[in-house]
C-alpha cells in the first residue's frame, strides 16, 4: 500500500476538511479525494461521511486511524534509522508565559548546538495542547498543571513555575500594613488568564468560595494584556514570576502580601503511542538541561 494514501487519510481525519487537508499537503483537493476513494475501495468500506460542515470519520474510519498512525510512525522510524540524521522540525505547544520567558533560551541553545533542528513554538493552553498532540499538529507540549491525566497523552514533570500575586505600586493593597486575607481579595478586581489556565481557574474557585465575595474577574488570552491592566492600577493578577520579575525590579509592579500560592509544575507532554523523532528528543534533552 502506498503510505501517501495513509498520510492523506490521517491529515483529512485531523483537519476534517478536504480543502484544509489539500492545503497542508500541498496538493490539489481533487487529489485528496482520489486518495480517499482509493483507500475506501481498498478496504471495501466508507471511511468518511461527506457533510456540508466537512469530513467526519465513520466507525470504520476511526478504527483505521489508529492503525494508520502506527504504520506512518513505523515508516518515520525506518527513515530516521536509514539516514541517521537527527534534524527536522519540531512543533511545540506551550502556554504563552513559557513561550515568552523559558523557551527562547532553549531554542537559542539548540541553534548553537544542533542547528539542524528547527523549533516552532505555538502558544496554547492545556486543552489546545492536548488536542494538538492527539491530532498530530504538535510533536510535544508543555503544560502548567498540578495533575495531568489525559487519554492518549503521557506527561512527565520537568520543573516548577513560581507564581506572583501582583498589583501596581499605587494600588491600596500595595502598602497594606497587614497580610491581605482572602476576604480582602474577594472584593478586588482581577485580571486572569483564559479558561483552562490551571492556576487562574484555581484562583477563581478560591475567590468565589469566600462567603459574600463579589470579585470582578476579567479573563485574557494574553499575559501582556493582563499585566498591562495591572500596571495601570486597574486590579490584581496572579502570573508566573518570570513574566513579571522585570516589572518588579523596575517597581512598575509590587507583590501583594497575601496568601501563598504553590509553584505550578511544568509538565512535558507527548502522545502516548507516537514515536519521538530524534529532533524532538534533541529538544527534550535541551529543555531538561535548562530546567535543572
pLDDT digit string, tens, across residues 114-166: 898 899 999 888 888 988 888 778 899 999 988 878 888 999 999 999 999 99
Does 172 share its domain with 212?
A: yes
Does 168 share its domain with 237?
A: yes
Query: The pTM is what?
Result: 0.71
**Domain with 173 in it:** 163-262
> Nearest Cα to 137, choosing from 116, 156, 155, 122?
122
CATH number (domain holding residue 66): 1.10.10.10
Does 45 share its domain with 135?
A: no
Does 173 share its domain with 258?
A: yes
- Give me the number of domains the chain comprises: 3
Radius of gyration of the CA atoms of the chain, in A = 23
pLDDT at 218 over 90: yes
Tell me if 142 sits within 8 A of 269, measured CB to CB.
yes
The average confidence (pLDDT) of the chain is 88
Report CA-CA distances (Å) from 21 to 33, 40, 42, 183: 10, 17, 21, 53
Residues 43-99 pLDDT 10s: 999 999 998 888 999 999 888 887 887 777 676 666 655 555 556 889 999 998 898
Does 50 share its domain with 183?
A: no
In angstroms, the CA 7 to CA 35 distance is 9
C-alpha cell at 89: 522540525
Instruction: Match 469530513 to its residue by C-alpha cell.
Output: 55
- Give phi and psi for 280, each to the nearest 5: -65, -35
In angstroms, the CA 245 to CA 261 distance is 16
Amino acid at each position: 500500500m502506498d503510505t501517501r494514501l495513509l498520510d492523506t487519510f490521517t491529515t483529512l481525519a485531523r483537519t476534517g476538511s478536504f480543502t484544509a487537508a489539500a492545503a497542508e499537503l500541498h496538493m490539489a483537493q481533487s487529489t485528496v479525494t482520489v486518495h480517499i476513494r482509493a483507500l475506501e475501495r481498498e478496504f471495501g468500506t466508507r471511511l468518511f461521511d461527506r457533510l456540508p460542515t466537512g469530513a467526519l470519520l465513520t466507525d470504520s474510519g476511526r478504527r483505521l486511524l489508529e492503525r494508520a498512525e502506527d504504520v506512518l510512525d513505523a515508516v518515520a522510524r525506518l527513515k530516521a534509522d536509514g539516514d541517521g540524521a537527527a534534524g527536522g522540525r519540531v512543533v511545540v505547544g506551550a502556554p504563552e508565559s513559557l513561550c515568552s520567558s523559558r523557551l527562547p533560551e532553549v531554542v537559542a541553545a539548540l541553534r548553537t548546538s544542533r542547528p539542524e533542528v528547527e523549533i516552532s513554538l505555538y502558544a496554547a493552553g492545556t486543552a489546545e495542547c492536548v488536542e494538538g498532540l492527539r491530532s498530530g499538529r504538535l510533536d510535544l507540549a508543555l503544560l502548567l498543571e498540578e495533575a495531568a491525566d489525559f487519554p492518549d497523552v503521557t506527561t512527565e514533570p520537568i520543573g516548577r513555575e513560581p507564581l506572583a500575586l501582583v498589583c501596581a505600586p499605587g494600588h491600596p493593597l500595595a502598602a497594606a500594613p497587614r497580610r491581605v486575607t482572602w476576604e480582602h481579595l474577594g472584593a478586588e478586581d482581577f485580571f486572569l488568564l483564559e479558561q483552562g489556565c490551571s492556576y487562574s481557574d484555581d484562583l477563581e474557585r478560591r475567590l468565589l468560595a469566600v462567603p459574600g465575595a463579589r470579585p470582578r474577574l476579567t479573563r485574557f488570552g494574553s499575559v501582556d494584556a493582563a499585566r498591562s491592566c495591572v500596571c495601570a492600577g486597574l486590579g490584581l493578577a496572579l502570573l508566573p514570576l518570570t513574566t513579571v520579575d522585570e516589572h518588579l525590579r523596575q517597581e512598575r509592579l509590587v507583590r501583594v502580601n497575601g496568601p501563598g500560592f504553590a509553584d505550578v509544575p511544568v509538565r512535558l507532554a507527548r502522545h502516548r503511542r507516537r514515536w519521538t523523532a530524534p529532533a524532538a528528543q534533541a529538544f527534550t534533552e535541551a529543555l531538561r538541561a535548562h530546567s535543572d
